[in-house]
Structure 1
C-alpha cells in the first residue's frame, strides 16, 4: 500500500457501513451517492480487500469491512469531537448534535428543552430522531440518546435525569360499573376490571409503603403503545389505565385510583452517550438543559448558569 489513505474516503466508508446503504450515507453526509461509491471503491483498491458486499437490495460489511468499521469509527468520532470542542473553546458550544428520544417524551419535555437549547446556541445544529426503537449510538452515529430505563446497552454511559411518576385512573363510568364506585381497590378488583395497557403481556408493578415490589396481571381490554392513546381509550370508558401521572392529570375527566398493592411503579429517564473520554460541550450542555425540564420542576427549561 504505497499511497496514503484519504481520511475522507474512510469517513464515507464508515457512513455506508453504518447505514448499510450508499443512499443513506449520501443523505447523512450530504455527499452525492456517486461520490460515495467512488470513495469506497478507491479505499478498497488501496487496501487490497473488499469491504462491502453489494446487492441490488442491500449493502453489508465483509469480515474485513466489519473489522475496519470497529476500529475506524470510534477514531473518526473522537476526531470529530476534538475538532468541534476546539471550535467551541470561546465558551459557545458548536457542531451538529445528533439525538434520539422516545416518541412521547421526545415530543414533549425533551423536544421543548432541545428547541430552547438550539435557540440559545445558534452555532449548534440539532438533529432529533423520535422513535421507540433502541438505536445503536455507534451504528447510527448518534451523540446522545434519551432512554426510559433500565438501560441495558453496553459501552455507553447512562446518566439518570429524572423519575417519571405513574398513576392509575379510570373514567367515572368504569369506576361505577367495574369497581363498585370505589376509588381505592384491592388487587382482586383491579385484576377483574377491564384495563387499557401500553405493553401487552407485561404485568403492572406496584411498590408498597415498605418498599416491596408487587405485580398484577391486568385484564387487557385495549392496548396502545402510545400512552396518549391509552389515556384517550380510558377516557372513552374502555378500562383502567396506568400511565404517566402528568399525562393523566392533563387529560382531565379521569378518576384517580388507589390500589392496596401500593403506588404504581414509575419509570426513569436517562441520558445515554458513548463511553469515550471526550464528551463534546454541545452534548454536556444539552443534557443539562433537558435535566432542567424535570416534571414537577420550574415551568420550562431555563438557560443554565455559566460556571467559571
Structure 2
C-alpha cells in the first residue's frame, strides 16, 4: 500500500464527505478511493469513518488523524513543488474558491490565458456566494470581492472594484431620477448583504464624506441578483462594476451620481498564512494581479 496516496484519499473523503466526490477530486475511481481508505484503516487497526448509505463522517479517531496527517501530506507536496520550481514548466492542481457571479465570468476569462500558458496546471474552481474555510476544505486560494473582514488569511489586493449606483430606465420613468444621493432615502433600494453595514451607502464629493441610510424590498447575498432586480425595474441597486458593466453598456441600466465617489470594494486573493505557496499558486496570483490591474 502507498501510505501517502492512502492519506491523500482519506483527506479527500474527509473534505468532500463522499467517496465518489473524493474520487472525482483526485481523478480516481470510487472503488480505488474506498480501497485506499480500507487499507489505511486496516494498517491503523481503527475505523476512520462512520459510514451509512447516505453519509460519511469522521470518527473521533479519524478527526484526530486528519489533523495530524494534513501537515505531513502538505510537507510532501512542498518537497515535490520545490523540485518542480527547478523545472521550466509549472504543473499540478490549484483549487480555487470564488463568488458565483465574478467567478463564472470575469475570473474564468482571467484563468483561460494562464491555463493556455501552463498546460500542465489543472484548476479546480468551486463557486459559492458563501464564504468557505480554505484550510478545512482543502483550497489553495480564494478570490473575493468586497471589504475584507477580520481574518487570519493573507490577502493580496489584485485591483480596486468601484461600486456603481444604478437603476433601469423604466424605474426612473416611474419613480423619478434622484437628484443627489440623499434622495435615495425616499426610493426603493436593493440591498446587497455582503458588506458589514449593507444599508449604509457611503459617498464622497470634494472633501465631504457622508452616509445615506437606505431601505428596500429586496435583499440578497449576490451582486448578480441585485443587478438583475435593478434591470427588472424593482429598485435602485449598488453593485461592483463587474456585475453591471454589460448592462450599463447596453442601456438596460443607467449609472446614477457619476460625479460622486462611492465606496470601493477590493478584489483580493487570499491564502492561508501557514501554507507554503507553491510555484504554480504564486504564478497564478501574479498573473491575476497583472490581468485585473490592467482592466
Q: Structure 2-normalised TM-score?
A: 0.85
Q: Secondary structure at the match of 2:64?
A: helix
Tell me how far 1:286 sits from its aligned partner. Answer: 0.6
In structure 2, relative to structure 1, the CA distance for the partners of 1:126 and 1:153 (3 Å cut) is farther
Residue 135 of structure 1 aligns to a residue whose secondary structure is coil
Q: How far has the Cα of 1:62 moved from its partner?
A: 1.5
**1:167 maps to 2:164:** yes
SS at match of 1:23: helix
Q: CA deviation at 1:225?
A: 4.4
Q: Closer, same or farther in 2 for the Cα pair 1:153/1:196, shift >3 Å?
A: closer
Contact 1:271 1:287 in 2 (8 A): yes
Q: Please show how residues 60-79 of structure 1 align to structure 2 within 5 Å.
A: 60-79=57-76
1:280-308 Cα offsets, whole Å, 9 max, x none, are: 111011111111232xx535xxxxxxxxx
Following TM superposition, by how much is the alpha carbon of 1:66 offset from its aligned partner in structure 2, in angstroms? 0.8
Equivalent residue pairs, number = 289
Structure 2: which 5+ residue stretches go unaligned? none
Among 140, 143, 166, the residue aligned to 2:140? 143
Give the conservation status (yes or no) of the 8 Å contact 1:170–1:237.
yes
2:236 is matched with 240
Work out whether 1:184 is the aligned partner of 2:180.
yes
Q: Which residue of 2 aligns with 1:264?
A: 262
- Alpha-carbon contact 2:106-2:242 (below 8 Å) kept: no
State the partner residue of 1:198.
Answer: 192
Matched, 1:94 2:88: no
Superposed CA offset, 1:32-86 (max 9, x none): 3233223222222322332211122211111211111111113212312321341
Match of 2:7 in 1: 10
In the aligned structure 1, how far is the partner of 2:82 from the partner of 2:129? 30
170-179 or 109-118, which deviates more: 170-179
Quick one: distance in 2 between partners of 1:150 and 1:77? 30
**Normalised by the size of structure 1, how large is the TM-score?**
0.81
**1:9 Cα deviation from its structure 2 partner:** 2.0
**Alpha-carbon distance in 2 for matches of 1:118, 1:241:** 35
CA contact (8 A) 2:129 2:221 kept: no
